Structure 1
Amino acid sequence: MRYAYGVAMALLLGGTAFSLATGEAGAQIAQNEPSALAPRPGAPMSFADLAARLQPAVVNISTKQRVAVKAQSDPFEEFFRRFDPTQPQGGTDNGGGAQPRTREAGSLGSGFIISPDGYVVTNNHLIQGLSGTGTVDSVTVITTDRREYVARIVGRDETSDLALLKIEGRNLPFVKWGDSTKARVGDWVLAIGNPYGLGGTVTAGIISALHRGITGVGAYDRYIQTDAAINMGNSGGPMFDLNGNVIGINSALISPTGASVGIGLAIPAEAAKPVIDALIRGQRPSRGYLGASLQPVDEDLAPSVGIPKDSGEIVRSLVPGGPGAGAGLQQGDVIVKVNGQQVTPDQTVSYLIANSPVGSRVPLEIVRAGRHATVTVIVAQRPTEEALARLSGGGSTSDGATAIAPNAPQRALGLSLAPLTPELGRAASLPPTAHGVIITAIDPNANAAEQGLQRGDLIVSVNNQPVNTPAQVIAAVDAARKAGRSSVLLLVQRGATPAVFVGVNIAPK
């Protein structure tokens, strides 16, 4: 009710403002303008015909899986078990040999048929299983006429969150892929799916944004954003243009409540179709790989590396023996162009490399120590997610340990600094191979604190120069100040997590 009232007021106020501003001359112009209530091209009076044509090809995805249940302890059962040798010992948590208890769990989502012989596209997270690994026990596809099909999982791709199913049928209704590269902000779109298991539901809206990133990393962090209502259960369903072609796969929503607030996200068809085509052929999707951990050059880092913000990405680390390391990339290099294309928040290095042919030679324009240079990388095949996890290592984030000495005699940037010792390294949960200068205290009013630095963080380098003593940090900061720089670039490691670059302003003396 509130929404309807707000729309009505907006239209009324808009009309009033127009009539007050135009006067007599404006009135003549207004007579030649189309009525505010008249339909305009691209804004149909009804989506009914389009929805009726498309709905039969949109399906409900239902999965089932047996999951383990840890039973709660019953004190009375525990008491009697002690005196009954025929009962299994060890409690009700199945730790003493009792049969494990399980329950049947499932998920509901959406999908769409792309061929008359029954290939179905959906999201991988619907069939991956509640544990996040493996697959569910069974998948059922339910059509709009309530026919049920047992589906076979043809293939799935965790990286893009896409999966391909197959049901046995002939002359099934199906839909075709559209060209998402021609989509524009403001275009009408139609979303069809099964929110909350309610069956075929149609919502309409416009494209609110293109190339929307929500994680900041990855080749597939590039969604179509829409204000068409997308809710839980819409995952895997299609987003259509007004020609009835699939230009996106509804996959996520941004919401503080878990329900639609008008920010729905869809995987664009330009990214989804090559993955699905590969799965149909029984192949692993091909995507390029650089072997580098990257970080956007935001407004905090830009002064430190000497380029405008959002115009490149800095190399945070390299996989030993990977394509980037083999091409001569170094930690701290800033990649500004990939094969002649500017690196931006919309065109990230990950996206551009992932869409480069495996085996191709791709020039990277970089900025190193303030100078532009070019290195040529031979694009490799991206490893599986499991292999990438092994390559990147792991470890939990640590915000410093209390055993670190409270004070140090040398300071810079509002930081108290000390050489890294084995004792300090263990206290800060740093790996034994770590090298650098550790932060033992921090001025809460310093810019370094505003940038998120904490006690226990390790400064690995300053302006891409490795440091091992506080004196080296102080000298590097002084050199940057004398050179007229407004900030310094710190490479900082916290615990066992990968190091990140942080730009810190140089406070005036």
Structure 2
Amino acid sequence: MFISKINHHSAGSRFVIAGLALLAWVSASAAQAAGGPAPSSFADLAEKLLPSVVNISTTQTIKGQAGGGLEMPQFPPGSPLEEFFKEFLERQQGGPGRPDAPSRKATSLGSGFIVDATGYIVTNNHVIADADEISVKLHDDTVFAATLVGRDPKVDLAVLKIDPGKKILAAVPFGNSDEARVGDWVLAIGNPFGFGGTVTAGIVSARARDINAGPYDDFLQTDAAINRGNSGGPMFNIKGEVIGINSAIISPSGGSIGIGFAIPASLATPVLDDLRKFGKVRRGWLGIRIQSLDVDMAENVGLPDQHGALVAKVDPAGPGVKAGLKDGDVVLKFDGKDITEMRRLPRYVAGTPIGKKVEVVIWRDGKKQTLMAAVGEMPEDPADQAVKGGKTDQPKAKEGKDGVLSIPGTGLTVSSLTPALRERFGVDDETKGIVVTEVKPDSGAAEKGLRPGDLIIEADHKPVRAPADLGKAVEEGRKSGAKSLLLRVENPQQLRYVALPLSEGKKK
């Protein structure tokens, strides 16, 4: 099973991402879930909305493809036939990447909809990404060349512009997706497999889905019949308002199994407004890197539950430091909104008007505090706000060197930052802390994702400059009855907090 953006239907392309449409049949059980009998017909609504939905086609030049221009057949992910055909095509060309490999034109199809009668059209970014030419076909088969106004890969949206001349375009309004309830009827019109003007219907299956597609995931889920070519198509409510933009599916093979996702209008509209006005998105920014709380972390800082976002690092030049935010704070509320999950905070901050002063409720030193922060503008290429952890296999390090300390009951062996270790792990001369040289695979440290090369720079919010500092912190934690010790850990990929279990063996 995999999650895929519902890309365009591709003709002559080596890659295809499935498209999104809504359920093509209306069952009695769905009618009951929607809270009432099925409408006798969607015909009047479809007739009204059809002229607002467009087909989008793109052309892209692909250079240097192996196989003399032959196509790679589409296989399920992991199929042994995929590797077989890849090798066959490379032999036909004489090997991949040859300078004399021919270029070719690849065309693809997607969906979009008109949001302004002057010619503004919304679609997914992945529909038009890397396109050399973009064309828009209206419901009456009139075709226009389109220009790209702006695009946002993070939310997967793009705005196009056509010059309709004397042509009268039918624009559709956005609705309030926050009011959409699970079980509400929805309607979609799109371009599956190039069949323009296809109308399908279903319900909202769930809300606020995070499918790891981007930093601001908040998808509406629908019982969708997913088909290629519906990317960028609108999801309408029963009033004929756009409440979502169809974007992704879950499918074992790329075809429909009835689980699809749409970008909610509440997330899309501010992005689209910025793209139209500025050609880019101006997002709010606090200048903090955050991570989620686990049970051990929450207990360590005295929180009664795991709600909130743990501040892993505050940018010294960002708005957060001016507001008084510090490393180790837990953000509980932002501008009156509860941070029930870590991932909520980046979206709330990004959607806040630049320059607005907001209240930020934090947890620090065992109690709540309220700070005032003036939201700044996110830099063009900021570091990701969410700090992702993870587990890896733990290679063993050599033992017996000077400055090495094994801390019983933790699974950790640590060392001072000697010149040899700095060179081995790529640590510059200015960095302070101690380095992890070994992690026992059956330990709590391994379960928390610690690995050789990680730098421990703080323990219980106190600087760690020598292995003995960590040993002392562990001893004090155990004497106080603490179940874990909060470490601040850094490596070239991330900076995060880790609640190191102080009991023997791996946690169950």
- TM-score normalised per structure 1: 0.78
**Match in the other structure for 2:118:** 117
- d(CA) in 2 for partners of 1:60, 1:143: 7
**1:102 lines up with 2:103 in the alignment:** yes
**Match in the other structure for 1:182:** 179
Q: SS of 2:116's equivalent?
A: coil
**Match in the other structure for 1:335:** 331
**Match in the other structure for 2:127:** 126
- Deviation readout 1:95-140 (Å, 9 max, x if unpaired): 8xx77842223332210112333221111222221xxxxxx21101
**1:57 lines up with 2:58 in the alignment:** no
- d(CA) in 2 for partners of 1:444, 1:433: 31
**Match in the other structure for 2:222:** 226
**Match in the other structure for 1:155:** 150
Is this contact kept in 2: 1:224–1:248, CA < 8 A? yes
- Deviation readout 1:273-306 (Å, 9 max, x if unpaired): 2222333334644331111111122334322222
CA 1:346 to 1:425, structure 2 compared with 1: closer, same or farther past 3 Å?
closer
- d(CA) in 1 for partners of 2:110, 2:275: 20
RMSD: 3.3
- d(CA) in 1 for partners of 2:452, 2:238: 56
Shift of 1:47: 2.9
Shift of 1:198: 3.8
Please tell me the residue identity of whatever aligns with 2:382: L
CA 1:188 to 1:331, structure 2 compared with 1: closer, same or farther past 3 Å?
same
- Deviation readout 1:367-418 (Å, 9 max, x if unpaired): 223233232221111222xx325x99x9xx9969979424644224121222
- d(CA) in 2 for partners of 1:37, 1:325: 52
Is this contact kept in 2: 1:401–1:456, CA < 8 A? no
- d(CA) in 2 for partners of 1:355, 1:476: 40
**Match in the other structure for 1:348:** 344
CA 1:455 to 1:119, structure 2 compared with 1: closer, same or farther past 3 Å?
same
Is this contact kept in 2: 1:313–1:343, CA < 8 A? yes
**Match in the other structure for 1:502:** 498
**Match in the other structure for 1:461:** 458
Q: SS of 2:63's equivalent?
A: strand
- Return the index of the structure with the highest Cα Rg: 1
Is this contact kept in 2: 1:401–1:427, CA < 8 A? no
**Match in the other structure for 2:39:** 44
Give 1:339-378 correspondences, 5 Å limit: 339-345=335-341, 348-378=344-374
Please tell me the residue identity of whatever aligns with 2:55: N
**Match in the other structure for 2:6:** none
**1:475 lines up with 2:472 in the alignment:** yes
- d(CA) in 1 for partners of 2:475, 2:255: 52
- d(CA) in 2 for partners of 1:39, 1:302: 39
**Match in the other structure for 2:62:** 67
Is this contact kept in 2: 1:205–1:228, CA < 8 A? yes
- TM-score normalised per structure 2: 0.78
Deviating beyond 6 angstroms after TM superposition, the runs of 4 or more aligned structure 1 residues are: 36-40, 91-95, 397-403
CA 1:38 to 1:257, structure 2 compared with 1: closer, same or farther past 3 Å?
closer
**1:295 lines up with 2:254 in the alignment:** no
- d(CA) in 2 for partners of 1:37, 1:368: 48
- Deviation readout 1:313-343 (Å, 9 max, x if unpaired): 0111222311112222221111111123221
**Match in the other structure for 2:11:** none
**Range with bigger deviation, 251-260 or 238-247:** 251-260
**1:168 lines up with 2:163 in the alignment:** yes
Please tell me the residue identity of whatever aligns with 2:156: D
- d(CA) in 2 for partners of 1:485, 1:398: 24
CA 1:197 to 1:39, structure 2 compared with 1: closer, same or farther past 3 Å?
closer
Q: SS of 1:504's equivalent?
A: strand
Please tell me the residue identity of whatever aligns with 1:155: G
Identity %: 44
**Match in the other structure for 1:280:** 276
**Match in the other structure for 1:446:** 443
**Match in the other structure for 2:246:** 250
CA 1:491 to 1:178, structure 2 compared with 1: closer, same or farther past 3 Å?
same
Is this contact kept in 1: 2:361–2:369, CA < 8 A? yes
**Match in the other structure for 2:19:** none
Q: SS of 1:120's equivalent?
A: strand
Is this contact kept in 2: 1:114–1:174, CA < 8 A? yes
**Match in the other structure for 1:411:** 407
**Match in the other structure for 1:132:** none
- d(CA) in 1 for partners of 2:424, 2:252: 37
**Unmatched runs of 5 consecutive residues or more in structure 2:** 1-25, 69-93
**Match in the other structure for 1:423:** 420
- d(CA) in 2 for partners of 1:430, 1:70: 41
**1:208 lines up with 2:226 in the alignment:** no
- d(CA) in 1 for partners of 2:200, 2:110: 16
Q: SS of 1:192's equivalent?
A: strand
Q: SS of 2:295's equivalent?
A: coil
- d(CA) in 2 for partners of 1:353, 1:38: 34
CA 1:207 to 1:71, structure 2 compared with 1: closer, same or farther past 3 Å?
closer
- d(CA) in 2 for partners of 1:172, 1:497: 49
CA 1:431 to 1:369, structure 2 compared with 1: closer, same or farther past 3 Å?
farther
Please tell me the residue identity of whatever aligns with 2:198: T
Q: SS of 1:141's equivalent?
A: strand
Q: SS of 1:499's equivalent?
A: strand
**Match in the other structure for 2:303:** 307
- d(CA) in 2 for partners of 1:466, 1:216: 36
**Match in the other structure for 2:4:** none
**Range with bigger deviation, 37-46 or 112-121:** 37-46
- d(CA) in 2 for partners of 1:310, 1:201: 45
CA 1:99 to 1:398, structure 2 compared with 1: closer, same or farther past 3 Å?
farther
Shift of 1:422: 3.0
**1:239 lines up with 2:240 in the alignment:** no
Q: SS of 2:263's equivalent?
A: strand
Please tell me the residue identity of whatever aligns with 1:418: S
**Match in the other structure for 2:10:** none
**Unmatched runs of 5 consecutive residues or more in structure 1:** 1-6, 12-35, 74-90, 130-135
Q: SS of 2:251's equivalent?
A: coil
